[in-house]
Amino acid sequence: MEVSQTTMEPKLKTDSAPPEQKIWQHKHILDLDDFTTAEIELVMQTTKAMHEILSRPIKKVPTLRGKTVVTLFYEASTRTRSSFELGAKNLSADISNLTVSSSSVTKGESLIDTLETIEALGADIIVIRHPHSGAPDLASKHVKASIINAGDGWHAHPTQALLDLYTMLQHKNSIKGLKVAIIGDIIHSRVAHSNIWGLTKMGADVTVCAPSTLLPKGIENPQPHFPKVKVTTNIDDAIRGADVVMGLRLQLERQQNGLIPSIREYAALYRITEERLANAAKDVIVMHPGPVNEDIEIASSVVHGSRSVINEQVTNGVAVRMALFYLLTGGNRDE
């Protein structure tokens, strides 16, 4: 990835077949299961170029001038939605945030009708968060615009996994061989799902840890299409020697009666604490996608402690989303 010294924009070379175009094959970003390692590496390199832009006093570049991005969130969001919005604005795109609660969805308009309406208004990229798994995939089959999945049900949250990979790379030399422990409400976590795909494709050694009721059925012996990870119900086993410890939010709104005996017992057995982290690698980093239930899945002292990179994850969300906009629109070739 080359960066223009005059505009500080990431530049694609002017050869007839730019190398990025050969690597990048995606029109939509639905999950990381269909990403190649070369594509993930390209996202990391492009994010680095965007990061450089964001370190400048004037962060705005004209890369997406004339393009329109619409965000369509059927679920609440703080980090994801605002970082997509900031990223689009930094690249000079026109951006519209459709608030579902004040749209015609409240009059019964279907998802497909809403998408077709947004496309008729000129959207080039639609960023969608939806409570139902598969909604972004359905959307991608009905519109010509590029669809970015900003989180669908329990299924996937690919842009979160990409910013998590980028954050790990800021602290570790390589993802290959990295011992990553993902601890918490695995069954309901689209973040865990997409991270398992991304991390295993990049060669990390992934362990997932939860009470058996919060682990997907059959995760020890997954279907051929799903990556193999280590599985434990013991948090100390998961943390021992880990380079990265990733906590997950206990999704209180998605719990059904009986999955955990009580929040107090869950916290006693599965909270990431300073004492437990003493058995991790010396330079362990602690991650969490947010929002955090402090002192339930992770101790307050850890959230705000020196090993925590939780705020860096949020910051990196803007650069990653800028990189994805850039790659989806073919970049700003020298013309």
Query: Which residues sit at the interface with ligand CP, rule CB under 6 A?
Result: 77-80, 151, 160, 289-291
The answer for residues whose C-beta is within 8 angstroms of residue 80's C-beta and 6 or more apart is: 129, 150, 151, 157, 159, 160, 317
Residue 5 C-beta: closest distance to ligand CP, Å: 35
Residue 233 C-beta: closest distance to ligand CP, Å: 25
Find tokens 């919060």 and name the residue: 214
Q: What beta strand segments (E) does the chain contain?
A: 2-3, 10-11, 68-73, 94-99, 125-130, 146-152, 179-183, 205-209, 230-232, 244-247, 285-287
User: Among residues 7, 52, 44, which one has the least CA distance to residue 23?
Assistant: 44
Residue 61 or 183: which CB sits closer to ligand CP?
183
d(CA 69, CA 242): 39
Asked if 292 contacts 310 with a C-beta cutoff of 8 angstroms, the reply is yes
What DSSP line would sit under 228-276, residue for residue? Answer: --EEES-HHHHHTT-SEEEE----GGG--TTSSS-HHHHHHHH-B-HHH
Residue 195 C-beta: closest distance to ligand CP, Å: 11
Residue 160 or 207: which CB sits closer to ligand CP?
160
Residue 58 C-beta: closest distance to ligand CP, Å: 27
Residue 82 or 213: which CB sits closer to ligand CP?
82
190 DSSP 8-state letter? H
d(CA 204, CA 31): 18
End-to-end alpha-carbon separation of the chain, Å?
17
Residue 120 C-beta: closest distance to ligand CP, Å: 27
Residue 25 C-beta: closest distance to ligand CP, Å: 25
Residue 46 or 194: which CB sits closer to ligand CP?
194
Residue 216 or 289: which CB sits closer to ligand CP?
289
Residue 12 or 314: which CB sits closer to ligand CP?
314
